[in-house]
Amino acid sequence: MLIAIPDLLDASDVARVRAVIDAAEWIDGNVTSGPQSALAKRNDQLPEDSAAAREAGGLILDALGRSPLFVAAALPLKVFPPLFNRYAGGQDFGLHVDNAVRIRRGSDFRIRSDLSATLFLEDPAGYDGGELVVETQFGPQTVKLPAGHMVLYPASSLHRVTPVTRGTRTASFFWIQSMVRDDGARALLFDLDQGVQAVATAQGQGDPTTVRLTGVYHNLLRRWADA
> Does 149 count as an annotated binding residue?
no
> Does 98 count as an annotated binding residue?
yes
> Does 49 count as an annotated binding residue?
no
- DSSP character string of the chain: --EEETTSS-HHHHHHHHHHHHTS--EEGGGG--HHHHHHB--EE--TTSHHHHHHHHHHHHHHHT-HHHHHHH-EEEEPPPEEEEEETT--EEEE---SEEE-TTSS-EEE--EEEEEE-S-GGGEEE--EEEEETTEEEEE---TT-EEEEETTS-EEE--EEEEEEEEEEEEEEESS--HHHHHHHHHHHHHHHHHHHHH-TTSHHHHHHHHHHHHHHHHH---
Three-state SS across 165-216? EEEEEEEEEEEEEECCCCHHHHHHHHHHHHHHHHHHHHHCCCCHHHHHHHHH
> Does 105 count as an annotated binding residue?
no
- β-strand partners of 3: 152
Look at the chain and count its residues: 227
Binding residues, as ranges, are 96, 98, 159, 169
| Residues in the annotated binding site for Fe cation | 96, 98, 159
- For the annotated binding site for 2-oxoglutarate, the residues are 169
